[in-house]
């Protein structure tokens, strides 16, 4: 099953993607994680994108598209994947369609977590405080100022991706303000309505 998970920063995409990974045995392809790994390993491309990420802005489309295009060719993604944090622009969505078409495959569904902005700001403050209280590193882009930039970027550049997929009939929107379990159940129900797939109902 080939999926895209959309939603603003802090909407719970990572949490829900992990559940979908467990249930459907497909890898989570998070462009944020891949880019953070590139930064941590100090590669030339990592160093180029670090500053952009620290500011909460978007890495250039061609960089992210090539990262994703390479990753979907790995053997663990042969039977499907869930893209988390990609596409974030309509240009990326179009490029993804081209990459998939070139491989003779297509998306099965797009899942979007809808959450209002005030709730997101509360959540992200909570996420930073929780990490700090556990002595865990706080993401540099999880402070309030950068987070506001990330929301602005989302509104301006990523929100149009919703319409792109709606017009393709792929979009399923779920209220991301519900409990984690309730969101997870609704996402699973949306996927269950798709033809031709197996659900491992023993895993939550």
Instruction: Please list the active-site residues.
Output: 13, 88, 127, 140, 150
CA distances (Å), origin 84, targets 13, 20, 25, 136? 7, 11, 15, 23
Near ligand AMP by CB under 6 A, which window of 51-59, 168-176, 179-187, 192-200?
51-59
What lies within 8 Å, CB to CB, of 103 at 6+ separation is 72
CB atoms within 10 A of CB 12: 20
Q: Which member of 21, 27, 45, 52 binds ligand AMP (CB under 6 A)?
A: 52
| Strands laid side by side in the 2-6 sheet | 28-30, 81-84, 2-6, 109-114, 171-175
CB atoms within 10 A of CB 146: 19
By CB under 6 A, tell whether 9 contacts ligand AMP: yes
Near ligand AMP by CB under 6 A, which window of 28-36, 71-79, 102-110, 191-199?
28-36
CB atoms within 10 A of CB 136: 9
Site for ligand AMP in 101-140 (CB under 6 A): none
Give me the least distance between CB of 181 and ligand AMP, in Å please. 23
Task: Find the length of the chain.
Answer: 204
Site for ligand AMP in 145-184 (CB under 6 A): 150
- Of the candidates 124, 112, 196, 116, the residue with the CA atom closest to the CA atom of residue 161: 112
By CB under 6 A, tell whether 32 contacts ligand AMP: yes
By CB under 6 A, tell whether 59 contacts ligand AMP: yes
Q: Are 141 and 128 in contact (CB under 8 A)?
A: no
The pattern of x and - marking residues 76 through 95 that bind ligand AMP according to CB under 6 A reads: ---------xxxx---x---
By CB under 6 A, tell whether 142 contacts ligand AMP: no
Q: Which member of 1, 5, 17, 64 binds ligand AMP (CB under 6 A)?
A: 64
Give me the least distance between CB of 84 and ligand AMP, in Å please. 7
Q: Which member of 20, 29, 53, 109 binds ligand AMP (CB under 6 A)?
A: 53
Pure H helices in the chain: 13-24, 31-40, 44-55, 61-71, 90-102, 117-133, 144-153, 159-167, 180-192
Q: Which residues of this chain interact with ligand AMP, rule CB under 6 A?
A: 9, 31-32, 35, 52-53, 56-59, 64, 85-88, 92, 141, 150
């Amino acid at each position: 099953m080939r999926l895209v998970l959309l939603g603003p920063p802090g909407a719970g995409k990572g949490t829900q993607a992990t559940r979908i990974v467990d249930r459907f045995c497909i890898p989570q392809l998070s462009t944020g994680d891949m880019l953070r790994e590139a930064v941590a390993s100090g590669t030339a491309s990592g160093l180029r994108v670090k500053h952009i990420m620290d500011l909460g802005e978007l890495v250039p489309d061609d960089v992210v598209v090539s990262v994703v295009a390479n990753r979907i060719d790995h053997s663990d993604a042969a039977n499907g994947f869930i893209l988390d944090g990609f596409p974030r622009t309509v240009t990326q969505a179009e490029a993804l369609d081209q990459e998939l078409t070139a491989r003779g495959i297509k998306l099965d569904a797009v899942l979007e977590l809808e959450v209002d902005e005030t709730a997101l700001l509360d959540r992200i403050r909570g996420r930073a405080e929780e990490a700090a209280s556990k002595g865990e590193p706080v993401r540099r882009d999880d402070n309030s100022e950068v987070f506001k930039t990330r929301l602005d970027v989302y509104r301006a550049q990523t929100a149009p991706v919703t319409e792109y997929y709606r017009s393709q009939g792929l979009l399923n929107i779920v209220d991301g303000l519900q409990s984690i379990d309730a969101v997870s159940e609704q996402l699973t129900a949306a996927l269950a309505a798709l033809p031709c797939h197996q659900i491992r109902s023993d895993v939550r």
